[in-house]
Structure 1
Amino acid sequence: MTTLDDVLALQKTSNILYAPEIKPPVTESLIVESAAATGTLSVSLCNSTQSSTVYAYITGLAINNNSALFLLQSDGATPYYPSNPSSNGTALSANCAIALGAPGTTCTVTIPYIAGGRIWFCCDSTLTFLLNPGTSGPGLVEPSVSNTSDPNYLLSWDFCEFTYNSSQLYTNISYVDFVCLPISLTLTDTTGTVSHVSGMPSDGLATVCSNLIAQNNTDGAGWNQLVITNNGSNLRALSPTNGIIFNPSLFQNYWTNYINQVWSKYVSTPLTVDTQASWGTVTGYTSNDRTQLTFPCGSFPQPSAADIFGANSGAFAPQATNTAQLLNIGARLDAAFNRSTLLIDSVQPDNEVVSTYYTNSITNHYARIVHAANLDSRGYCFPYDDVTPNGGVDQSGFVNSGSPSNFLVTVGGGNAYAKRGDMQRVVEPNRMMKRGVSWDEDIKMPIAEEDVERDLEKGEHPKLLNELASPSEDFKLPASIERYLGPYLANLQSSPFYVNRLLPFMALIHQLIISVLSISFRTIVSRIFIVAFFIIFYFLGLLPHGSEEVTQRRMLETSLAAANGNGTKFLQSN
């Protein structure tokens, strides 16, 4: 039997989307909304390419229709629920190619609640979707960039991902598999708040491909093999995971030296991981024989290149016991590996700083290059690219809202723009990564809106929140002592006393420190000038001046008296 999480994971590895056999729970609100025929969203699709032949497709699982396989028909309004075919590779019986029209035009479609949703675009051709039979309904065979026999392989196409339910619309630009067409996202909620992900400019693919070739010229690791061409032109740039599918020896020994350094570092130094979940903060050490990185809930063997780039095999695959907690820790370790920060940051991900990502010569240069090619540096470049410190800067290129009003998706790069000061970014405090929790738990996460361009006098400085060390880092035991006390400290951190008493107190002290340090330089200078001017004006009016020690105030009073002719005399001091 398969759950919704299972089929969404299968979609990412096999490019086939099935309906789950075990249906997700349907809340009372969903039942009411379904009966009232609500729960729909207007989606605007804009053609900013130079082609007049651009088609869009919208696929997913219809939440209010028992999570059945869903496609939107070409009119942009009629749902299509395919029947279970009798054989593999059956063609769709409905036209689901939504024509966008000439460059610069926008068409509007309507979608219901959807899980595992994707909005596909293809330039100069239509895409081919096929159906396979399944035990819970048909499976949608989606276009693939790793199968040269796929009818869509030599076409120019791309997609963005989304989930739309009664809690929120969550969507992001995905580069986990490849880079091809520039896509930007603009989400407006019912209050008029606009969130935007810029994506790449129109020449983004060319920039990525040229930089991958340049990186290969530097280290000879094989980054140029990720560039796929057709008739001499760049077709797409593959992620390292898909590059390894074509060439299993690609990057085979790329991470070896870096992994050995990491494993050696944490033999005596504790590696602290904030799970950002109910498990709290855990501490791990490398075994003396350098084979395992061990935490209280389990261990990780040394990962391979495929494990690091793909995050779903070997060291980072589900284990037999404590799977949920190990996957959570593994997600943060995998993100740190891809960003190459494990040698400079032993507290993950709390002490992570974006400026230090990808600075090691051994790193995920695909992710580095793709992020740099995006106008706002945001986009999902590897499976756990949404791992972020609490209060940190999003890297995954997502927008979300609990009350979406309109969703604009632009293809081609012409409408991409860097976020301006008047744009508001939607953030989720203490947000766990999207792919690290179950679908049911993920949709319950709190949502808050915050203006990151606000005056720093109003509260916490987001950069300080990102860079300040946690309270536990203020004091460190010697490594030799920490080695033996580490397990006991880990037990203390998981105890009710620590969680209910000590941790809130430490958080309060930490917040007070942040509040003091978050006062901007402008605020401090302004306060100093106010005090200085007050002192100057105060003493100008009271201190004696001149050889006769007559104050300015008395001089002023005497002058006024003389002007009035009242016979007031000067009082001279002896």
Structure 2
Amino acid sequence: TTLTPLPVDCAIPVGSGRQVSVPRMYAARIYLVTDAKLDFFLNPGPALVHPSFLNSSDPNFGRNWSFAEFTFNDAQLFANISYVDFVGLPLGIALSTTSSGSQSVPGLPSGSASALAGELSAQGSNWSQLVQTSGGRPLRVLSAQHKADQFAGYLDGYIDQVWQKYATQPLTVDTQAVGAFTGRVAGDVLTFDNGESFTRPTTADVWSCDSGPFAIAQGASDARKAIIPRLAAALNRTTLLANANQPTGEDPAQFYRNAATNHYARIVHSKLPDNRGYAFPYDDVTPGPDFSGSVFAGDPAVLTVTVRGL
């Protein structure tokens, strides 16, 4: 594919005081970089080609950057910081409003990439393969979904235990919006009383939350769309052996306690001052405290993104 450079310079130096009018937009990003401007390209679509943390030939690959996500529609401004893909340049966000107070998510502190790299490497297995370096120091740490081939079979033992458990007792998943459903495993398939069934997932399916039995096909029922996030979240947090009522009764103190678990998500949350920030795609599944690291309001005034040291 032939790429062409973005024909305008969209970089705004911090402290420049430049004002930009932002239209309503969905799933937008604010990119921040410390060591050089990011290069953006267009494909023949044309569509914007975002900076890549996976393609070493991308000119942005070795740069120190990150992003915050936001949606600005007629109802509200919603923004979040995410570690679903990687931990790199640490960011925090805050939102002030015209009449409903303020919200903030501190995000990871300075030095988190190095700390995360060290603790992941100490886990053994292939966790050290998630660390990308530049100049001899960690630049970013990838989520395990981006190195899924390094973890083939990693969760098999745990998933086997889960499937065995629910072959002999029911699993209840409360979707809140469309009701609670009870399932059992028979013939290696988890089937709920509404007819939705799920084959045994692989480790890659769990890490990504959107492949194998967790892929949401066109025409999928609302119930299936609601069950998938709750199953995927429980498998990432390895809580299905301890709690047969998902996500009701989930205790955050019991997340990631299994020896084989999503150690990337576990360590990311251990570094977050308030435990808030997406560390896998369905990290917003919870019966109680918010883990998603988001701010939102229908009367937004100022959204502030804070950059911390690598």
Give the alignment's TM-score, normalised by structure 2: 0.95
1:350, 1:413 → 2: CA distance?
Answer: 38
Alignment counterpart, residue 303 of structure 1, candidates 197, 201, 217 = 201
CA contact (8 A) 2:284 2:290 kept: yes
Partner of 2:11 in structure 1? 97
Specify the alignment match of 1:222 in structure 2: 126
RCO higher in structure (CA 8 A, sep ≥6): 2
Task: Classify the secondary structure of the residue corresponding to 2:122.
Answer: helix
Deviation digits for residues 214-249 of structure 1 (CA, Å, limit 9, x no counterpart): 222xxxx211111111221111000001123xxx2x
Q: Could you tell me how far 1:320 is from its partner in structure 2?
A: 6.8
Give the counterpart letter for 2:78 in structure 1.
Answer: Y
Aligned residue number for residue 307 of structure 2:
411
Q: Give SS of 1:99's match.
A: coil
How far apart are 1:321 and its partner, in Å? 6.0
Q: Which has the higher strand share?
A: 2
Q: Distance in 2 between matches of 1:197 and 1:385?
A: 15
Count of aligned pairs: 309
Task: Give the C-alpha shift of residue 97 in structure 1.
Answer: 0.7
| Paired residue type of 2:152 | Q
- Distance across 1 between alignment mates of 2:87 and 2:153: 25
Structure 2 residue runs of 5 or longer lacking an equivalent are none
Q: How far off its partner does 1:413 sit?
A: 5.3
Coordinate RMSD, CA, aligned? 1.7
For 1:340 and 1:310, the matched residues in 2 are separated by 15
Query: How far 1:312 moved relative to its partner?
Result: 1.2
The Cα offsets for residues 285-326 of structure 1, whole Å up to 9 and x where unpaired, read as: 001x3x100112321111111100001111211247644422
1:338-353 to 2 correspondence within 5 Å? Answer: 338-353=236-251
Find the partner of 1:265 among 165, 178, 194.
165
Aligned partner of 2:66 in structure 1 is 158
Q: Which residue of 2 aligns with 1:181?
A: 89
Give % identity: 46
Cα deviations by residue, 1:425-477 (Å, 9 ceiling, x for unpaired): xxxxxxxxxxxxxxxxxxxxxxxxxxxxxxxxxxxxxxxxxxxxxxxxxxxxx
- Hey, what does 1:357 align to over in structure 2? 255
Whether 1:236 aligns to 2:140 is yes
Partner residue of 1:313? 211
Confirm or deny: 8 A CA contact 1:185 1:196 kept in the other structure: yes
Matches within 5 A, 1:449-460: none
2:290 to 384, 394, 399: 394
Inter-partner Cα distance in structure 2 for 1:301 and 1:388: 24
Which protein has the bigger helix share? 1
CA positional deviation for 1:171: 1.1
Shift of residue 387, structure 1, vs aligned partner: 0.7
Q: Provide Cα deviations, 1:145-178, integer angstroms capped at 9, x if missing partner.
A: 1111111111111111111111111111110110
- Conservation of the 8 A alpha-carbon contact between 2:171 and 2:182: yes
Matched, 1:283 2:186: no
In structure 2, the CA distance between the partners of 1:155 and 1:384, relative to structure 1 (3 Å rule), is: same
**Matching residue of 2:234:** 336
Segments of 5+ residues of structure 1 without an aligned counterpart are 1-86, 415-574
The 3-state SS of whatever aligns with 1:345 is coil
Residue type of the alignment partner of 2:237: R
